[in-house]
């Protein structure tokens, strides 16, 4: 404080001469200059010099004369409207909570696609005549009815997808939606979601079946170093392409229904949101949250089907390890005994999987909401 007071007293004792329109005024101390400034007699553009010196400066450069205390800049803060994305555990917990809250509407949506499939299986079993190899009326009727139920399932699938998005959004906002009102809201999205289903599913199907077919043909030619290298290369390309498709199609259902974008806009926005959140830890980015949720669902389905998969895999493994000729291997695997009728355990596990499948859609809606909130918050910030 003593040093500061000495500096201030030294400045107050300085005497200045001011030149206005060619005339010089002074010497005057700092307090007199302040009075002249308040009276408008001294402007910051006027010339001034210390008494006894020859160098002229602008009056605005005289310390503490025209300088005003500039307001302190507020500290930089992270905008409060940009929420922190939820963790994986929170997404799973909220998904289960929303599923329980809207259990019956979710069940109704599941029955839209489940009932035709079950009816086709039961009817096909009743009309099946496995003892006869000839084409008869019963086999034709069974095939025709099964095909009609398949078409009905495919027609209901876009409603199922759109309904899950709408219902999850309403439940997340604390509102409830009756089932028929939900269907009425989902019907208007049917054409858009149906086109996107064709694009997305056919892209995955193409890049899954074509490389696998090429690998199968290479395997039939017999083992060699070249065939092994080709199989590895084709497998790596397939994995890369499928992963890129997964990224680009991550939020296509949400952008098409909740954002109400057209086909091209839904795919563009899905890709943009999937690649967002680069400033976040990797496990909180939308892409990796989608990967983790999908992996958890895959592991759950795999565990659910283990009782039926293990016996079949044992049979295939025995054939593969005991057969050397590729052609004999293919013939033997094709002639393995297949179960007839409906296995009760398989049917029950498949029914449980279908009933719990909306959990996957709910989780992706929650991830989409978090990514959308950060994108909008970042733009407004």
Before 177, cis peptide (omega within 30)? Answer: no
Residue 228, in any domain of the structure: yes
Is the pLDDT at 44 greater than 70? The verdict is yes
Number of H helices, E strands in the chain: 14, 4
Is the pLDDT at 278 greater than 90? The verdict is no
- Are 243 and 369 within one domain? yes
- Are 138 and 274 within one domain? yes
Query: Is the model more confident about 208 or about 377?
Result: 208
Return the DSSP state at 102: T
* CA 141, 147, 151, 154 torsion-angle sign: positive
- Are 40 and 182 within one domain? no
CATH number assigned to the domain comprising residue 21: 3.30.1490.40
Residue 254, in any domain of the structure: yes
Cβ–Cβ under 8 Å, residues 218 and 328: no
pLDDT range class, residue 296, cuts 50, 70, 90: very high
The predicted-structure confidence for 100-144, as pLDDT tens digits, reads as follows: 999 999 999 999 999 988 887 777 666 655 555 555 677 777 778
Residue 265, in any domain of the structure: yes
Q: Quote the strand ranges of the chain, DSSP E.
A: 16-20, 23-28, 47-50, 57-58
Query: Is the model more confident about 137 or about 365?
Result: 365
- Are 53 and 93 within one domain? no
The pLDDT of residue 64: 66
Cβ–Cβ under 8 Å, residues 252 and 189: no
The pLDDT of residue 98: 95
Bridge partners, 49 (sequence order): 17
Which single residue is written with the structure tokens 């890709």?
A: 271
- Are 30 and 115 within one domain? no
Q: What average pLDDT does range 342-364 have in this prediction?
A: 87
Q: Which of 162-166, 248-252, 346-350 has the lowest mean pLDDT?
A: 346-350
Residue 109, in any domain of the structure: yes
- Are 43 and 190 within one domain? no
HSE of 311 in the Cβ direction (CA atoms, 13 Å)? 7
Question: What are the Cα distances from residue 161, in Å, to 164, 178, 201, 265, 286?
Answer: 5, 17, 13, 18, 20
Angle between helices 358-380 and 263-274 in degrees, nearest 10:
80
Is the pLDDT at 214 greater than 70? The verdict is yes
Cβ–Cβ under 8 Å, residues 189 and 198: no
Q: What average pLDDT does range 46-52 have in this prediction?
A: 74
The tokens for 379 are 């733009």
The predicted-structure confidence for 218-270, as pLDDT tens digits, reads as follows: 877 777 788 888 889 999 999 999 999 999 999 999 999 999 899 999 999 99
Which single residue is written with the structure tokens 């009309």?
A: 127
The tokens for 159 are 């409603």
pLDDT range class, residue 79, cuts 50, 70, 90: very low
Is the pLDDT at 71 greater than 50? The verdict is no
Can you give the three-state secondary structure of 130-199, one letter per residue? CCCCCCCHHHHHHHHHHHHHHHHHHHHHHHHHHHHHHHHHHHHCCCCCCHHHHHHHHHCCHHHHHHHHHH
Q: Which of 142-156, 185-199, 239-253 has the lowest mean pLDDT?
A: 142-156
- At 56 the three-state DSSP class reads coil
- Are 169 and 313 within one domain? yes
The total number of structural domains in the chain stands at 2
The pLDDT of residue 135: 57
The tokens for 237 are 């390309």
Domain that holds residue 16: 2-61
- Are 233 and 288 within one domain? yes
Of 42, 61, 80, which residue constitutes the final position of a domain?
61
Query: Is the model more confident about 130 or about 189?
Result: 189
- Are 39 and 166 within one domain? no
Residue 8, in any domain of the structure: yes
- Are 110 and 229 within one domain? yes
- Are 182 and 128 within one domain? yes
60 vs 46: CA distance, rounded Å: 8
Return the DSSP state at 259: S
The pLDDT of residue 8: 39
- Are 240 and 319 within one domain? yes
HSE of 153 in the Cβ direction (CA atoms, 13 Å)? 16
Residue 150, in any domain of the structure: yes
Residue 122, in any domain of the structure: yes
Residue 71, in any domain of the structure: no
The tokens for 268 are 């563009």
């Amino acid at each position: 404080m003593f040093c500061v007071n000495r500096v201030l007293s030294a400045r107050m004792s300085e005497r200045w001469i001011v030149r206005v329109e060619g005339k010089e005024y002074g010497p005057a101390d700092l307090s007199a200059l302040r009075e002249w400034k308040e009276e408008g007699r001294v402007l910051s553009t006027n010339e001034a010099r210390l008494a006894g010196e020859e160098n002229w400066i602008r009056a605005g450069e005289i310390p503490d004369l025209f300088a005003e205390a500039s307001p302190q800049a507020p500290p930089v803060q992270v905008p409060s409207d940009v929420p922190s994305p939820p963790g994986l555990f929170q997404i799973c917990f909220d998904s289960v909570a929303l599923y329980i809250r809207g259990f019956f509407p979710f069940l109704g949506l599941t029955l839209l696609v489940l009932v035709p499939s079950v009816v086709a299986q039961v009817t096909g079993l009743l009309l099946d005549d496995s003892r006869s190899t000839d084409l008869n009326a019963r086999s034709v009727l069974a095939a025709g009815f099964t095909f009609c139920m398949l078409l009905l399932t495919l027609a209901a699938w876009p409603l199922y997808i759109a309904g899950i998005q709408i219902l999850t959004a309403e439940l997340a906002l604390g509102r409830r939606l009756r089932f028929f009102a939900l269907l009425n809201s989902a019907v208007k999205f049917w054409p858009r979601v149906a086109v996107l289903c064709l694009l997305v599913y056919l892209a995955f199907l193409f890049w899954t079946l074509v490389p696998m077919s090429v690998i199968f043909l290479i395997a039939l030619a017999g083992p060699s170093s070249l065939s092994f290298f080709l199989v590895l290369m084709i497998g790596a390309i397939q994995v890369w392409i499928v992963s890129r498709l997964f990224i680009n199609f991550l939020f296509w259902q949400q952008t098409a229904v909740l954002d109400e974008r057209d086909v091209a806009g839904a795919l563009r926005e899905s890709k943009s949101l999937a690649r967002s959140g680069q400033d976040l830890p990797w496990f909180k980015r939308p892409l990796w949250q989608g990967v983790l949720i999908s992996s958890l669902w895959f592991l759950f389905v795999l565990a659910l089907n283990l009782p039926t998969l293990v016996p079949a895999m044992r049979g295939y493994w025995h054939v593969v390890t005991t057969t050397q000729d590729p052609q004999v291997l293919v013939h033997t695997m094709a002639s393995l005994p297949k179960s007839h009728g409906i296995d009760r355990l398989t049917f029950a596990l498949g029914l449980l999987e279908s009933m719990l499948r909306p959990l996957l859609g709910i989780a992706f809606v929650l991830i989409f909401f978090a990514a959308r909130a950060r994108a909008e918050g970042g733009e407004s910030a």
